[in-house]
Structures are given as structure tokens and as C-alpha cells.
Amino acid sequence: MLTLVSCVGRVVVLLAAVSVTTSITMSGEWGEEGVTYAQLGKEVILTCAGASPGSSVEWRWNGGPVLPEDSAVQAGQLLLSHPQLSSEGVYSCHDTSGVLLSSTVLRLGRLPGKPSILCTAPNYEDLSCFWASTVETFLPTRYITSYRSGSLDVASKKQRSAPIVEGPCIQDPAHPFSCTIHQSMFWSGYWINVTEVNPLGSNFHLLNVIMQGIIKPDPPEHLRVEPVPSVPNRLQVSWEYPSSWTKEFHFLLKFRLRYRPVTSTSWAMVETANVSEVITDAFLGLLHVVQVSAKDFLDAGSWSEWTPEAWAMPATGQTLVPSETATAAIKAESPAEEPSLAPNNGPIGHSDPTEKVAVLVSLGVFAFFVLAVILVFAFLMWVRMKKHSKEATKNHDLLAAAIHMKALPKAQIL
């Protein structure tokens, strides 16, 4: 439930948006002079500006005497009762001798709808928002974008200690329908305001976002896949952090590596915190497709998009960078293709470290089971010996009692 302060905050944001909208609408920057904007399906009344009161005028549409079907002339004014897009055009009024008195261009459209917004952060310093119009207005449209850090509910104790920052969300003309907040605050919440404005009015959308919830890194860069010359069924894969990621040691990424032979549609997946991996189960003689994506190491936000595909063939294959076409990749499947001459910068030994770890783990598991069997066997032997000891003690007691009874005189026994 919204508090009074929260409601006041929303009203302030709305008034700010409306005030800017009003200044833009009244400035006459929506198009050339002499344009009239009206709503589709709503009654439109055009007045002949140069006519004297009570004088007879003639209306023309696009230079001709034929007017739209739903039009009527009343007291020198032109009435369009239910105009459609087909009713747009140049309307001019003339006196009885045909002299032009005034003209206007009629453009029809709709009021703006509430824009839809999606915000993501490629790092912990820059927040980008993207929006789309929910109503096709058919009219020129502008967008006002701004932000406010923290909650609109300033009575919250958690927000009271945090500084409140307000400002414009910067729009880049080269990337329409998007804006960016630079130097955003780590672990902060933001209210994003996107107001859609056209000559008929405005509408806005307030979106609350939290940085760690919208983190989505850009895809890793410089993905490279190389065959391992002296080791079959191996592909060396390496990549780099995205250049847009925060350059701080405590902001780490983890990665997903997926790969498959071109003849298969199923992906194998590996997750790692390293920037290189060795594929140990590649199929000899088959071209493989490799991609990598990234995510915040602490699992905040979502995974990045996949990198462009990289192609390579184990041992005798040719390495292809992502920019090369699929046609070249298919050619690499030919047995007549020469091996890749690309240098192999990854450490290559006579045995794979992964295999060493697997062998050690297997030996450890085997030793554990052997030890467990020995302990169980020893326990069973101990139980058995204890049981025999109890039986021997019992027999000894019976024998002693019998000897004692035999030594007693018969009179005592009776």
C-alpha cells in the first residue's frame, strides 16, 4: 500500500513530466506551420481564418471540391464527424470568387499509450533502458527520460541514509528508444521515468529496478577455438572478459561453454570461472561449433547472450574465427584441408590435467571402498570372537559347578 509520501513523490514526477510536455507541445516544433493535429474517430471542426463573420465560403480538399463523406459545412466551418486516416490532407477555404482565404494540413492520430520499458545493466556502473510504444499513434513522437535513485517512499529507514540522486536518462540519437544512466550506484534501486509525448498529449511509465537484479553482461569477446596438435579429441577454447564489464578485481564473471559437432543438434555444456577450457571429448574428423556466455560470479542478474559461433576441427581441422561464414566452415570438413597454422597459446602437456584429477579421484574412491571393506571385515571378526568368548566362559562356569557338586558328600547333596 502506497504511503502519503510515496504518492506525493509520484505526483511530483508526473508534474515534472507534464510541465516539459506542455513546453514542447506549445513550442510549435512538431512540424511545419499550418498543420492541425486531431484524434482519429473524434469530431474535427476546421475554421476558415480569413473569412468575414457570416460570409459564404467554399471548402476544398487537396485542391478539389469533393470533400470526405462524413463532412459538412456549417456557418463557414467544416465539420468532420468521424475522420479516418483517409480524411487527412490539405483543407482550404475560398470565397465565392475562388480566392484562397486560408488552408491547413490535417493530420490524424491517437493519444500516446503507456510505453513498455526494459532495463538491463552490462556492468555495475552503467544502466541502460529500452522502451517501445504500446499504441500506434501515426503522429510524430518524442520521449522524455529521467531517473531517481532510491525509493519514492522516502519515509523508508533503509532509504533515509542513502543519497537521493535525480537526473536525465541520457538518450543517444544513434540508438533510438534507449537511454543510459552512467556512474550508477552499486546495489542501488532506481525509478525510471519514460514519458511519451505527441501533439495530442502524453503518457508515462515509472519502472522500479534494482541493479543486482538487472545485471546482464555483454557476451565474452575474442572467442578462439584451436585444435591441440599432438593430442587427439582435444580443442583448446579461450576468450576474454567483455570490454564493457567493470574493471575491478571483486567483480568477477563465470562462464558457460557449449559445443557440439555440426552433425548434431544437442549441445554439451561446461560451466567455469576460467577464461579458457580444453574440450576433451571432441570427435576426430568432425567440425565443432563453440559458443560462450557470461554471468555475474555471485549469480546476480541473468546470463549474457551467446557469443557468435566459432568453428574448429580436432587435430587436423582448420580454426575459423566467428566472422567467417558457414560456407567456409563446411569447406573445413574436407579431408584435403590442411591443418590450422594458428599458434596454440594454451599449455599443452603429454597428459591432460583433467584426466590426472579424474585418476586421483578414482584412486581415492577405490581406496575408500577397500578401507571400508577391511573395517567391516574386522568388525565382524571382533563380534564373532566376542561371541565365542562369552560361550567359553559360560561352559567353564557349568563345568566348575559340576565338579563342585561331585565333591560334596551324598548326605549334603540329599
Beta-sheet strand order (sheet of 175-182): 116-120, 126-132, 175-182, 170-172
End-to-end alpha carbon distance in the chain: 101
Q: What are phi and psi for residue 20, nearest 5 degrees?
A: -65, -40
Residue intervals of the chain classified under CATH 2.60.40.10 are: 35-109, 116-213, 221-312
Q: How many CA atoms lie within 13 A of 276 on its CB side?
A: 12
> Which SS3 state, helix, strand or coil, does residue 207 take?
strand
Q: For residue 373, what pLDDT band results from cuts at 50, 70 and 90?
A: confident
Closest by CA to 320, choosing from 291, 340, 306, is: 340
Sign of the Cα torsion 15, 21, 24, 28 reads: negative
Q: What are phi and psi for residue 371, nearest 5 degrees?
A: -60, -40
| Lowest-pLDDT range of 68-77, 286-295, 387-396 | 387-396
Domain 116-213 falls under CATH 3.30.465.10: no
**What's the confidence (pLDDT) of residue 14?**
45
Answer yes or no: is pLDDT of 334 > 50.
Answer: no
d(CA 272, CA 294): 10
Residues 6+ apart with CB under 8 A from 188: 149, 150, 162, 210, 211
CA dihedral 339, 340, 341, 347 (to 10 degrees): -110
d(CA 93, CA 76): 9
Provide the pairing of β-strand 142-149 with 71-74. unpaired
Rg of the Cα atoms in the chain: 41
**What's the confidence (pLDDT) of residue 13?**
42
**What's the confidence (pLDDT) of residue 61?**
95
**What's the confidence (pLDDT) of residue 357?**
63
Mean pLDDT across the stretch 201-214?
Answer: 92
Run of H or E residues at 175: strand 175-182
**What's the confidence (pLDDT) of residue 351?**
45
The percentage of residues in the chain with a pLDDT greater than 70, rounded to a whole number, is 72
Provide the pairing of β-strand 100-109 with 235-240. unpaired
Query: What is the pTM (predicted TM-score) of this model?
Result: 0.62
| Lowest-pLDDT range of 56-65, 151-160, 306-315, 330-339 | 330-339
Sign of the Cα torsion 356, 357, 361, 364 reads: positive
Q: How many CA atoms lie within 13 A of 214 on its CB side?
A: 24
State the Cα angle at 72 between 67 and 75, rounded to 5°. Answer: 125
Answer yes or no: is pLDDT of 213 > 50.
Answer: yes
Residue bearing the bigger pLDDT, 160 or 118: 118
**What's the confidence (pLDDT) of residue 330?**
40
d(CA 105, CA 139): 13
Answer yes or no: is pLDDT of 265 > 80.
Answer: yes
Mean pLDDT across the stretch 133-159?
Answer: 78
d(CA 182, CA 171): 11
**What's the confidence (pLDDT) of residue 192?**
95
Mean pLDDT across the stretch 64-88?
Answer: 92
| Lowest-pLDDT range of 199-203, 216-220, 339-343 | 339-343
Q: For residue 231, what pLDDT band results from cuts at 50, 70 and 90?
A: confident
Contact assessment for residue 80 and residue 86, using Cβ atoms and an 8 Å cutoff? no
Mean pLDDT across the stretch 235-256?
Answer: 91
Answer yes or no: is pLDDT of 346 > 50.
Answer: no
Mean model confidence pLDDT for the chain: 79
Residue bearing the bigger pLDDT, 3 or 206: 206
Closest by CA to 314, choosing from 279, 341, 345, is: 279
pLDDT in tens, 167-188: 999 999 999 999 999 888 777 7
**What's the confidence (pLDDT) of residue 340?**
39
**What's the confidence (pLDDT) of residue 394?**
59
Sign of the Cα torsion 28, 29, 33, 39 reads: negative
Contact assessment for residue 177 and residue 119, using Cβ atoms and an 8 Å cutoff? no
**What's the confidence (pLDDT) of residue 251?**
87
**Architecture of the domain made up of 35-109:** Sandwich (2.60)
Q: Which residue's C-alpha cell is 563380534?
A: 383
Provide the pairing of β-strand 100-109 with 35-39. parallel
Closest by CA to 48, choosing from 87, 96, 82, 81, is: 96
Residue bearing the bigger pLDDT, 86 or 154: 86
Topology of the domain comprising 221-312: Immunoglobulin-like (2.60.40)
DSSP structural state of residue 41? T
Contact assessment for residue 358 and residue 250, using Cβ atoms and an 8 Å cutoff? no
d(CA 395, CA 401): 10
Answer yes or no: is pLDDT of 37 > 80.
Answer: yes
